[in-house]
A and B are shown apart, each in its own frame.
Chain A
Amino acid sequence: MTNAPTSPDRTDRQIWMSVLARASAEALREHLADVPPLPAHRRLKGPDTGLVMLRGRAGGDGTAFNLMEATVTRCTVSMGEHMGHATVMGRDLAQAELAAAIDAALQNPELRDALMASVVEPLAASQDSARAETARKAEATRVNFFTMATMR
């Protein structure tokens, strides 16, 4: 799979869209308070809620099968000459619209640095730290078997 967000060669936009998708509307608003107000945007599509069919693979790595659907919300906006988009899991219309507006603003070179520094990077850091905390809790439950050799 090329250009997958989890692959190392993903673009900046793929990275920030994936970060915004994992951030609640509340967290997005909180970080937006640290930058000048975003320029006005116009809704082109949505925000509206629908379903995406999730898939698995037989045996984890075999033939794909349809697992079940998940609710998702999408929104497309225009902001000046830029179009912003968000597709996020769940049904939060405000999150999708905010994420789409931020995506549009991030494409404007005059706004990008401030938004990256005040919104995307702090959100990515808090997502990373939540993952790290889960990893540390899991690590604390790692089983260290004693072998007969060490017990002798």
Chain B
Amino acid sequence: MYVSVKGGESAIANAHAWLAERRRGDAALPEITADQIAEQLGLAVERVMAEGACIDRDLAALALKQARGDSTEAAFLLRAYRNTLPRFGYAAPLDTAAMQVQRRISATYKDLPGGQVLGPSFDYTHRLLELDLAGRKGEPDPAPQADTGVTPMPRVTEMLAREGLMARDTATDAEPPDLTREGLRFPAIRALALQSMARGDEGFLLALGYSTQRGYGNAHPFVGEIRMGAVPVEFTPPELGFAIDIGDVVVTECQMVNQFAGNNETPPQFTRGYGLVPGQNERKAMAMSLVDRALRASELGEEITAPAQDAEFVLYHCDNVESTGFVEHLKLPHYVDFQSELEKLRGIRARWAADRGEKS
């Protein structure tokens, strides 16, 4: 049995040329630039940054252009590029309490301190196609502005914690594990699960989060708070030995409030699920917070009955770059493997037929 081990070079080159032509589309239309993608398809760019696990708007926009808008392919491109860069160090944990808030809502308190700020959201739109956006609509009216006072926005979870109704997340000084330096280990600690989900596939986390609401897992969630805005990034360059701001990053944070029945040591109280993602992405931040809470089942002594509570299931399958790699590797030549399968099946069938022949 012979299998081809060489060849296809010119077919591949021609396929790539056709791909480039398809990517360009109708040459009578202007070519789109990465700048335009970064500015006008910003949420697609932010999804690529999240799943590519690399915050760089321009690179994510370029990746989307190169990938013809395929966000998983674009995330893969961004991961691959990221792997070529050296690591300079770790930033200080983002202080989301110091966020310059663009949006902040709560489903648990109407009149919470700091109030509710809607920000640039799709919520409250009618979800009707705006047909006049199809062409060039022109410049929109500038967004209205209103004078501001100083309005501190304390965390809803902290308000509950002060009353003793909410379990606090204990802060330790332990160096968190880093998924980019070591593989997943089980039982996974929460820090590893949060890192894994932050880069995880939005659709996968959304489905799992949804499953917890539908009864697969014991969830009774409330959105304590969602906030979105820019947070300073503080880093201590080794050359300096003191901290400086190196820029800002826009993130969305979700604090999901969940019931907890309590046990012998702990009275009934609320517990938190937490979601933090780059850019403006409430859907993913909320899904992540639902799954984070579900994954805390074993820590809280809850019975593990559902997929979203199973850390190995969730964390081994939430990375769409890994998932794509293993699913799509099935396209690679398996000629020899398959030949052996064929031989085996022919043998089994021959025995099967022989057995029938003898019996009849």
Contacts and interface: CB of A to CB of B under 8 A. Distances in A.
A74 B236 CA distance: 12
Q: Which of B102, B234, B249 has the most CB of A within 10 A?
A: B234
Contact of A143 (B88, B118, B248): B118
Interface string A1-26: 10111100001001001100110000
A88 B246 contact: yes
B235 A138 contact: no
Interface in A40-58: 45, 48-58
A56 B96 contact: yes
B179 A66 contact: yes
A71 B54 contact: yes
A69 B96 contact: no
Interface stretch (A29-37, A104-112, A115-123, A127-135): A127-135
A134 B119 CA distance: 10
A58 B90 contact: no
Contacts of A140: 143-146
Contacts of A149: none
Contacts of A57: 93-94, 96, 169, 171
Contact of A64 (B118, B191, B240, B278): B191
Contacts, number: 249
Contacts of A136: 145-148
A50 B116 contact: no
B247 A85 contact: no
Number of chain A interface residues as a range? 35 or more
A123 B169 CA distance: 38
Interface in B58-85: 58-59, 82, 85
A63 B175 CA distance: 9
A46 B140 CA distance: 42
Given A4-B243, A88-B247, A139-B117, A65 B144 contact: no
Band of interface residues on B: 35 or more
A31 B149 CA distance: 31
B55 A4 contact: no
A143 B86 contact: no
Given A6-B95, A55-B92, A140-B146, A61 B243 contact: no
Interface of B is mostly: mixed
Interface string A74-110: 1010000000010111110000000000000000000
A59 B274 contact: yes
Contacts of A4: 92, 234, 243
A152 B248 CA distance: 46
A151 interface: no
A57 B242 CA distance: 21
Contacts of B274: 58-60, 62
B244 A18 contact: yes
A134 B274 CA distance: 26
Contacts of A58: 169, 190-191, 194, 274
Contacts of A64: 93, 171, 176, 191
B50 interface: yes
A107 to B, nearest CB: 12
B232 A68 contact: no
Given A71-B56, A145-B111, A138 B101 contact: yes
B342 interface: no
A55 B86 contact: no
A139 B94 contact: no
Contacts of B249: 54, 70, 89
Nearest to B110: A145
List the 7 closest A-B pairs by CB distance, nearest first.
A62-B169, A89-B247, A136-B145, A59-B169, A18-B245, A65-B191, A70-B55
Given A5-B244, A62-B274, A139-B145, 18 more contacts: A18-B232, A22-B245, A22-B248, A50-B86, A51-B88, A52-B91, A54-B233, A57-B169, A59-B168, A66-B90, A68-B53, A69-B87, A69-B180, A72-B246, A88-B246, A140-B144, A142-B118, A143-B117
22 contacts: A1-B92, A3-B243, A6-B95, A6-B98, A11-B242, A21-B247, A49-B85, A50-B85, A53-B87, A57-B169, A58-B274, A59-B169, A61-B169, A62-B171, A62-B274, A87-B246, A90-B58, A135-B100, A136-B146, A138-B229, A139-B117, A142-B146
